Structure 1
Amino acid sequence: MSRTIDQRQSLYAEVTARVIAELEEGRLPWVQPWDSASCACTMPANGVTGRRYSGINVLILWARVIEGGYSSQRWLTYAQAQAAGGNVRKGERGTTVCYADRFTPKAKDDSARDDGQEARTVAFLKRFTVFNIDQCEGLPEALTQAPEVRPEIEILPEVAALIEASGADVRIGGDRAHYHPAHDYVAVPPVAAFREPINWYRTALHELGHWTGHPTRRDRDQSGAFGSASYAREELVAEMASAFACASLSIRPTVRHADYVGSWLQVLRHDDKAIFRAASAASKAADYLLGFAGHDGQSS
């Protein structure tokens, strides 16, 4: 058991240290320089099952795509590559991702049932290794064919429909975008205030990321005052939720609040699980929003 705990703590520390290093260099792991890569901006997914990766795995795999200069966001395990008729090229280095969940040990479940109580669950974090399809050979064309990149003119109506379908109280006007938790509304300046129309939609998705945190939706702590750790954590969730939603809609994410980097660093240095929690909450927030666009939100 202690070895499992040590491995889990090691993974938390490794990933957190990597994110801190990126932030200290002025780079945000959830906003990658897709223009300099040969890969379209989208969410990473398993090449066989099609399931999108979520939470911290998105940051890990996005960073690896950029680092490796890969042309695809699709990933396979070694066994999946072989089962598909191909193999991982000799000498290729895999990428470690993780799966977090909770389970109830059978002994505790039986004991709790005998006592008429609810059994306590135990958290676990499992590592596994994946390879980008660019690291493989002999795969069928169905796995290696590049996805079609949709033009912006097709994307914006879909985002507008998502916002409309959400039923969110979106108020257009003023000169500052924000979400008001107490009165549960989103305020966004008019489209004319933005250099490009798509930036209005990026901003709206960021504020809708906050909107998902309302008690009637994803129920996150939004009570923190500006400058507090809880405020920084919520802003971190909204930043990533917007990035994940944008990428799912084929929109390249951008930075909304780079001036919060200092407060994010304080949070991450204090708690090496903070980025995992924030990324998980961001995935749930993004999936909540994407549900209004007809996305199934199936991720792993």
Structure 2
Amino acid sequence: MTTDRNSQARTVNDIYERVTNQIIAAIEAGAGEYRMPWHHDGSAITTPVNVASRKTYRGVNVITLWAAAHAADYPAGIWGTYRQWHELGAQVRKGERGQLVVFWKTSDHSADTDRQDDDEDHDKSARRLFARGYTVFNCAQVDGYTPPEMPVLPRAERIEHAERFCAALSIDVRHGGSQACYIPSRDHVQMPEFACFRDAVAYYAVLLHECGHASGAKHRLDRDLAGRFGSAAYAMEECTVELLSAMICADLNLSIEPRPDHARYIASWLEVLRSDKRAIFTAASKAQEIADWMHARQGDACQNDVRGAA
């Protein structure tokens, strides 16, 4: 039993190491242009989808697949294992290298379940967690498969959906000044005037970022927002809401572009990732939790808008 547990621990640590190193390498590769692995073109690479289940990937898998797609310039975010492609009559081309994705096998007294995003309760004695790594290939790496045409709504309609999506969060947003921020003591988001942004997409990407911070209020998701600039806690919170903004923008088919103000965060993000191999998993898991909370706040009409834009 001890040997099995040690083997499982090595497997989990190896997965943490491999995924974290990939994200670090992607951040370092784009640092000169302030480009992060989660920047994406909303008209092409949206939320990654499994070709067999048609389900979207979640948590850290979204980030790793975005990074891989960006590095290889894949035009679509459709992925599958070797076996899944084979069962569809397609063939992974010889010499193609796959991408690691992670599923967590959780076992408790009632049931066994697979989940993609890391469970913060994994240390509880009643629950055992096993990391399972799978290799997936993008649709651009296979022969015998043609990606379906995915209709993309006109940009103006996507912007309208973004406005409705943010309004449905019921977070107090006020405009004025030159800085975007969330003020916990007053529980409101402060945004510069719309005209201060280079375009509408940039405005909504920043607004979602700040609403991500607001989701941490005690009466919402109750995260610790007390970290000061330069601290590991602050860096983790910033990384979390950056990932959240990218996730929601992907759902809305809005692109995420590099911003020069990322320069102040890059060094701290890299420091946190290098010192804690679980950090990107935790940040992605929290970002997914916020994204789920935001989607849960939407009415049926807005949810249909989001699904129709995907």
1:102-113 equivalence runs, <5 A = 102-104=106-108
Q: Which letter maps to 2:136?
A: V
Match in the other structure for 2:17: 13
How many angstroms apart in 1 are the aligned matches of 2:142 and 2:274? 37
Partner residue, 1:24: 28
Number of residue pairs aligned between Structure 1 and Structure 2: 279
The change in CA–CA distance for 1:101 and 1:245 in structure 2 (over 3 A counts) is farther
Could you give the per-residue CA deviations for residues 160-206 of structure 1, whole angstroms, max 9, x where no partner exists? 11111111111122221101123221111111112222221111111
- Structure 2 gaps of 5+ residues are 111-123
Instruction: Tell me the distance in 1 between the aligned counterparts of 2:202 and 2:95.
Output: 42
Structure 1 residues 53, 8: closer, same or farther in 2, change over 3 A? same
**How far is the alpha carbon of 1:119 from its aligned partner?**
5.4
CA distance in 2 between counterparts of 1:75 and 1:193 reads: 38
Say whether 1:240 aligns with 2:243: yes
Alpha-carbon separation, structure 2, partners of 1:92 and 1:269: 29
Structure 1 partner of 2:138: 132
Contact residue 19 and residue 29 of structure 1 kept, 8 A: yes
Cα deviation, 1:112-156, whole Å, max 9, x if unaligned, reads xxxxxx9521222110111112222233x5xx2231233211101
Note the 1:76-87 alignment, pairs <5 A.
Answer: 76-87=80-91
Indicate which of 229, 232, 240 corresponds to 2:232.
Answer: 229
Matched to 1:124, the amino acid is: F
Deviation at 1:281, TM superposition (A): 0.9
Does residue 71 (structure 1) correspond to residue 75 (structure 2)? The answer is yes
User: Cα–Cα, structure 1 residues 214 and 254, in superposed 2: closer, same or farther, change >3 Å?
Assistant: farther
TM-score (norm 2): 0.82
Equivalent position amino acid for 1:49 in 2: S
- 1:290 is displaced (CA, Å) by 3.2
Question: In structure 2, do the counterparts of structure 1 residues 236 and 132 end up closer, same or farther at CA, with 3 Å as the change threshold?
Answer: same
For residues 31 and 49 of structure 1, the distance between their equivalents in structure 2, rounded to whole angstroms, comes to 25
TM-score normalized by the length of structure 1: 0.85
Shifted more, 284-293 versus 193-202: the winner is 284-293
**2:256 corresponding residue in structure 1:** 253
Pick from 167, 177, 182 the counterpart of residue 179 of structure 1: 182
Amino acid paired to 1:268:
L
Counterpart of 1:135 in structure 2: which amino acid?
A: Q
Aligned residue number for residue 114 of structure 1: none
Q: Distance in 2 between matches of 1:261 and 1:198?
A: 22
Alignment of 1:96-245 (within 5 A): 96-104=100-108, 120-139=126-145, 144-245=147-248
State the partner residue of 1:289.
294
Report the Cα distance in structure 1 between the residues aligned to 2:258 and 2:185, rounded to whole angstroms. Answer: 25
Gaps spanning 5+ residues in structure 1: where?
107-117
Query: Greater shift after overlay, 160-169 or 18-27?
Result: 18-27
Asked if the contact 2:23/2:67 (under 8 Å) is kept, the reply is no
Question: SS of 1:294's equivalent?
Answer: helix
Q: Is the 8 A contact 2:26 2:67 kept in 1?
A: no
Taking only the aligned residue pairs, the percentage that are identical comes to 37
